[in-house]
Amino acid sequence: MNQKNSSVLFEKAQKFIPGGVNSPVRAFKAVGGNPLFIKSATGAYLYDEDDNQYIELINSWGPMILGHAHPAIANAVREAVEYSLSFGAPTAKEVEIAELITEMMPSVEKVRMVNSGTEATMSAIRVARGFTGRDKFIKIEGCYHGHGDSFLIAAGSGAVTMGNPDSPGVTKGTAKDTLLAPFNDLQAIENLIDANSGQIAALILEPVAGNMGCIAPEKSYLQGLRDLCTKNGIVLIFDEVMTGFRLSKGGAQEVYGITPDMTTLGKIIGGGMPVGAYGGKTEIMDYVSPQGPVYQAGTLSGNPVAMSAGLAVLKTLNENPEIYQNLESKTQKLTKGIRKNFQKLGLNYTINQIGSMFTLFFTDSEITDFETAKKSDLELFGKYFRAMLEQGIYLAPSQFETLFVSDALSENDIEQIISASYKALKEIH
């Protein structure tokens, strides 16, 4: 497959952009080769600068649940642009999307719009600290909450050990207030709470992990967290930037029947535009300025074009709930076909799937947390990625990223992906 123009662009980009990309995973360092430069997309297809077509399973890392260039979203954006790109003042669209979010996700009684998932999670932690008057918070190993300093912390030697900075530029002072525990490990959370009694403001996690690959919570895990947080006055925050409005109209919290105190959102609520949000109980959200003392602001927050795009997506999902059943069916058919490929070839790898999210892990171990996910054969994944790309299938360029299925994926597309997967698996063995 000719990728000459992408290679030329990448060489030029490295002269002016750190690493040649504006987000690290795009550089293909985890899979080898040079990144593709995308020119356009429609439905389930990407087209690069060399006019190659790819069936894709990234969907802009989640937002394109309806597929690329969906007419309802494109029309909403075109209409909004006619009235100007930004006002820096309140608009009717902000009120409309806020009302719809609270209707679709009942745990969110009030919501503040921001510009990214990172802003949303940073702000949620700040508000939780202001609300509780406490400094520390618990995060889960392998859950990604953006690139805020407090979240870039690696695990210590034990569940009660303080975290250490995981990136230059993150101070030890910042790290000391971040406590870590493995995913799906309630005892580790109990240990942290006991060791830091009365000091923990919040516990934040992805209820379904997507940034160590797709990993679902074990039975009673989320309820256990809810009970512990309620008992100890800790604000439970679900980071649903990925899962919000993707797994169901009410996100992962609806699927599992657990009500968090706060929720962070992004991706789908912007329809592909840069948007994030955080919300929760009225008593907590009323601590946000100008209602309360916790300051947070943003010039482009509630941008009218982004609000129009997000509103178009949410309305479509709200008015057509059968989309979720369609997505589940398509994803199950896809993963079932790939598993059959394993059987034909005598392989024993692991696929985790929930709703329209899934990950193929190159290991025969059950994947329940970050440690088990790291048992995957990363070199083999890189070979698989490149083999699939050569056949016109564009996967996430990292073993530790979930794949996302869009409603635009056709039955024929699914068959092509399954067929390509068989050929790729056969080739790399």
Residues linked to residue 62 through DSSP beta bridges, in sequence order: none
How far, CA to CA in Å, does 245 sit from each of 31, 58, 121?
30, 16, 17
Q: What is the mean pLDDT of residues 67-96?
A: 97
pLDDT interval class at 169 (50, 70, 90): confident
Q: Look at residue 414 and tell me whether its pLDDT is greater than 70.
A: yes
Residues linked to residue 48 through DSSP beta bridges, in sequence order: 38
- Choice among 93, 136, 139, 267 that is catalytic: 267
Is 227 noted as a catalytic residue in this protein? no
Q: Decide if 318 contacts 249 (C-beta within 8 A).
A: yes
Q: Look at residue 161 and tell me whether its pLDDT is greater than 70.
A: no
In this structure, the number of other CB atoms found within 10 A of the CB of residue 127 comes to 27
Handedness of CA 119, 122, 125, 131 (dihedral sign): negative
Q: Look at residue 105 and tell me whether its pLDDT is greater than 50.
A: yes
Q: Look at residue 162 and tell me whether its pLDDT is greater than 60.
A: no
The per-residue pLDDT for 160 is 34
Q: Look at residue 156 and tell me whether its pLDDT is greater than 80.
A: no
* CATH number assigned to the domain covering 71-319: 3.40.640.10
Q: Decide if 417 contacts 58 (C-beta within 8 A).
A: no
The per-residue pLDDT for 155 is 34
Handedness of CA 145, 146, 149, 152 (dihedral sign): positive
How far, CA to CA in Å, does 218 sit from each of 16, 186, 246, 399?
45, 10, 20, 21
Distance CA 74, CA 313 (A): 10
Distance CA 119, CA 113 (A): 10
- Choice among 45, 54, 144, 324 that is catalytic: 144
Specify the DSSP element, H or E, that contains 283.
Answer: helix 282-285
Distance CA 296, CA 309 (A): 23
Structure-token match 């719009």, residue found: 113
The per-residue pLDDT for 166 is 64
Is 144 noted as a catalytic residue in this protein? yes
The per-residue pLDDT for 148 is 86
Q: In what order do the strands lie in the sheet with 45-48?
A: 38-42, 45-48, 53-56, 393-394
How far, CA to CA in Å, does 188 sit from each of 158, 193, 328, 375, 397?
9, 9, 33, 21, 32
- In a 3-state reduction of DSSP, which class is residue 136? strand
Question: Could you report the per-residue pLDDT of 343-390, keeping only the tens digit for each?
Answer: 999 999 999 999 999 999 999 999 999 999 999 999 999 999 999 999
Structure-token match 């994030």, residue found: 276
In this structure, the number of other CB atoms found within 10 A of the CB of residue 250 comes to 19
Is 239 noted as a catalytic residue in this protein? yes
Per the omega criterion (within 30 degrees of 0), is the bond before 290 cis? yes
* CATH number assigned to the domain covering 4-69+321-428: 3.90.1150.10
Distance CA 257, CA 299 (A): 36
Question: Could you report the per-residue pLDDT of 277-300, keeping only the tens digit for each?
Answer: 999 999 999 999 999 999 999 999
Q: What is the pTM of this model?
A: 0.95
Residues linked to residue 56 through DSSP beta bridges, in sequence order: 394
- Choice among 185, 239, 369, 413 that is catalytic: 239
* Rg of the chain taking only CA atoms, in angstroms: 21
Q: What is the mean pLDDT of residues 136-158?
A: 77
Question: Could you report the per-residue pLDDT of 181-214, keeping only the tens digit for each?
Answer: 999 999 999 999 999 999 999 999 999 999 999 9
Distance CA 240, CA 363 (A): 27
- Over pLDDT 70: what percentage of the chain? 97
- Alpha-helix runs per DSSP H in 2-90: 4-16, 71-81
Q: Look at residue 3 and tell me whether its pLDDT is greater than 70.
A: yes
Domain-wise residue ranges, the chain: 4-69+321-428, 71-319
